[in-house]
Amino acid sequence: MSEAPATTTTSPTAPPELREASNRLIWALVGGVFVLDAFLAGRLMGDDGMAGMVSALIGLLILLVPMLRIVLDDLRSGQLRMNELVVLAVLAGAARGDFKTAGIIAFIMLISLIIESRTASGARASLEALARLSPGLARRLNADGTEERIDPQQLRPGDTVRVRPGENVQADGEILRGTTSLQEATITGESLPVDKGAGATVFAGTVNLTGAIEFRVTRVGKDTTLGRVRELILTAEKTKLPVVRLIDQYVHYYTPVVLILALIVWFFTRDLDRIVALFVAACPIAVVLATPSAMVAALSAAARVGLLVKDLSDFELMARINAFVFDKTGTLTAGRLSVARLAPCTGVESSELLRQAASAEQQSNHPVALAVCALAKRVNVTLTAPDNVHEEPGRGIRAVFADGEVRVGNMAWMTAAGADAAVFPGVADDEVAGMSLLFVMRDGQPLGWIGFQDEPRAKAKACIRQLRDRRVPRLALITGDRKEVARKVASELGLDEWRGECVPSDKVDYVEAVKKDGYQVAFVGDGVNDGPALAASHVGIALGAAGSDVAIGSASIALMNNELDRLPFLVDLARTARRVIVENFCVGGLLIAAGMGLSAAGMLSPVLAAVLQACGAVGVVLNSARLVREGETLQTEAR
């Protein structure tokens, strides 16, 4: 038996589940019309005549078609779910010869099933819409400067694209010409526009607000940051919480147990109405909706403010996190380092110290390297290209040139290579205490050091205070920077626990130690050198992940912007979602227990049982929908 063809308003590109739910809705409406006609015919004719019975039977058969298809799909997959109970209830009602009542039950239960399927698929579609790219045609520039309007899928890395005001950016790239303001809420969750000019990075799916720009394409399609965002959102929606996996493990026992209870009631009462009502009351529609409706609403709220969750288990775990460990550079501090001092050793010029350091660091993306190279570019220092570069995470860089080897890194690495710490001048000066220091040596001979300054992020102190207000007792800072710098930043932010001069393995050891103390640990870093620590923690959170494949790939949760106030919000959202899920389960469980008890006692009719099921499903969905509005205050404050 197949479904009749129907024309729906559902987009042909809509998810299959959404199209299927729309088709079921059409069957329900058509069948419902026939059942309603049966009641009208009986009222108009003054009795329950043949016309009314035939109309009710036709409506019942129409309503049974999509329900039987669902049951057959379940049976083919080798699983028994609540759908079998719905069909049994309808068939049992029809066996009594009361097609009108059976039709009403079928209509209400089919609507309840549609609510369930559309809640999941509709939420999935809304999540996908958060990361949907619909840019129209791209303006690719040819070699002669003329524009060519093409489909964005035809763009390739290296192409030059022009974007006019009001148009969407069609790919990731680097601005070549022009300045503008871009709306990047799709990527970062920030409602305020961002001003950008030549050399800045642009992301697919963002909106060009003011000036015309031309950019060179670096990534297209699924490889763009937007494509990664979309993949993360949809992958997370398909994952399951531990409680759901537990339910799935035992759900195939549920239907047989209900059948046994129905046989017991039949044995003692011989009342078919009670059996039908019991089958209807036993349908766990509200329970099935309890978790997915809450989770998709929470994921939608999180994605709106730039928080991307890879796995729902990690999101559920956030509700129990009681320890945060923060990296420093680029996380609690802005990561926009500036060179504050050049301190060459005796006999070495400042320009030579800068040239050697920048030549070695020019291929690195570390904030320290970027600051050194920026200064070298600003003062027109000519750099030498290295023949070979090796980066030691948490220590520094070793670059091999045609005329020697240069090491740039921390003091521990220098002394391990044989350098005398006393040779580096002025390290113990008071004004150096708050600086991050980069030491340089060439062929084993110290050249000097470079001092950097970095300021805590504007919202860092408030974030720490808000996490304490949320009963997160253990907050710590850990960094590869000097202990003096770590102590200074921790003091400014109100952190009592800190560690300095740590390599990546030290960060992992610290996280493991906190876990052994019985804490649920979240590690927050920028994803550059923090991959091992992010993986070692219960939940790894990468800050400023927009445009960073490393950050998106290494963390459990990616924060696409640098707004630290999202962390207390994440804790609140996870805890609220957990509370909503508990409420949903209580509603669903109470409906089942009370409904089955009243049905067995003969105090609940089949139709009323069906109405209660539909009301329970709607109530659970509405309760979960409250989560969608979480985070609106963050966006309002940003404006």
- Span 465-521, pLDDT tens digits: 999 999 999 999 998 888 888 888 899 899 989 998 887 888 889 999 999 999 999
pLDDT tier for residue 255 given thresholds of 50, 70 and 90:
confident
Which helix (DSSP H) or strand (DSSP E) does residue 410 occupy? none
CB-based burial, 120-139: b 16+ in 10 Å, e otherwise = bbbbbbebeebbebebeebb
Give pLDDT, residue 15. 53
Residue 263 tokens, joined? 């046989």
Category of 59 on φ-ψ map: left (φ > 0), alpha (ψ -120 to 50) or beta: alpha
pLDDT on residue 360: 92
Q: Does the pLDDT at position 250 exceed 70?
A: no
Residues of the chain with CATH 2.70.150.10: 138-167+172-219
Percent of the chain residues past pLDDT 70, beyond the cut: 82
Burial of residue 498, with CB atoms counted within 10 A of its CB: 0-12 exposed, 13-18 middle, 19 or more buried: buried
Q: Looking at the whole model, is its pTM more than 0.75?
A: no
Q: Which residue has the higher pLDDT, 228 or 483?
A: 483
Mean pLDDT of the chain: 81
Q: Mean pLDDT over residues 88-93, rounded?
A: 79
**Beta partners for residue 398, in sequence order:** 390, 407
Given a cut of 70, whether residue 116 has pLDDT beyond it is no
Nearest to 127 by CA among 235, 206, 244: 235
Where does the pLDDT of residue 235 fall: very low under 50, low under 70, confident under 90, or very high at 90 and above? low
Q: How confident is the model at residue 283 (pLDDT cuts 50, 70, 90)?
A: confident
Q: Once rounded to an integer, what is the mean pLDDT over residues 172-187? A: 81
Residue 312 confidence (pLDDT) above 50: yes
Class for the domain spanning 307-333+457-562: alpha beta
Percent of the chain residues topping a pLDDT of 90: 24
pLDDT at 277: 87
Q: What is the pLDDT of residues 7-57, one digit of tens each?
A: 334 444 455 555 676 788 888 888 888 888 877 776 666 555 677 788 888
What pLDDT does residue 3 have? 38
State the number of CA atoms in the 13 A half-sphere of 290 facing the CB: 23
pLDDT of residue 311: 78
- Please report which confidence band the pLDDT of residue 231 belongs to, taking 50, 70 and 90 as the band edges: low
Distance of CA 364 to the CA centre of its chain: 29
Kindly state the average pLDDT of the residues 377-388: 90
Residue 26 burial (CB count, 10 A): 16
What's the pLDDT score for residue 419?
A: 82
Please name the amino acid found at residue 115: I
- CATH class of the domain defined by 138-167+172-219: mainly beta
CATH 3.40.50.1000 domain range(s) in the chain: 307-333+457-562
CB 179 within 8 A of CB 211: yes
DSSP 324-372: EEE-IIIIIB----EEEEEEEPTT--HHHHHHHHHHHHTT--SHHHHHH
Query: What is the pLDDT at residue 614?
Result: 83
Residue 263 has pLDDT above 70, yes or no: yes
Task: Choose among 194, 127, 132, 180: nearest CA to 638.
Answer: 194
pLDDT > 90? residue 306: no
Q: Look at residue 10 in the predicted model and tell me its pLDDT.
A: 43
318: pLDDT confidence band, cut at 50, 70 and 90? very high
Residues involved in catalysis: 327
Is 605 a residue whose pLDDT tops 70? yes
pLDDT in tens, 615-638: 888 899 889 988 988 877 775 454
- pLDDT interval class at 610 (50, 70, 90): confident
Residues 6+ apart with CB under 8 A from 291: 241, 243, 244, 581, 584
pLDDT in tens, 52-72: 788 888 888 898 888 888 778
Q: Which helix (H) or strand (E) holds 279?
A: helix 272-282
Phi, psi of 79 (to 5 degrees): -130, 145
Stretch 443-459: mean pLDDT: 88
| Sequence ranges of the chain with CATH classification 3.40.1110.10 | 338-453
Residue 527's pLDDT is: 59
Backbone angles phi, psi at 479, to 5 degrees: -150, 155
pLDDT at 12: 43
Rounded CA separation 401/25 (Å): 71
Longest dimension (CA), the chain: 114
The secondary structure of 129-192, three-state, reads HHCCCCCCCEEEECCCCCEEEECHHHCCCCCEEEECCCCECCCEEEEEECCEEEECHHHHCCCC
Lowest mean pLDDT among 127-136, 193-202, 614-623: 127-136
What's the mean pLDDT in 433-445? 86
89 pLDDT tier (thresholds 50, 70, 90): confident
- Which fold would CATH assign to domain 338-453? Calcium-transporting ATPase, cytoplasmic domain N (3.40.1110)
Identify the top-confidence range among 24-28, 36-40, 98-102, 564-568.
564-568
Report whether pLDDT(608) > 50. Answer: yes
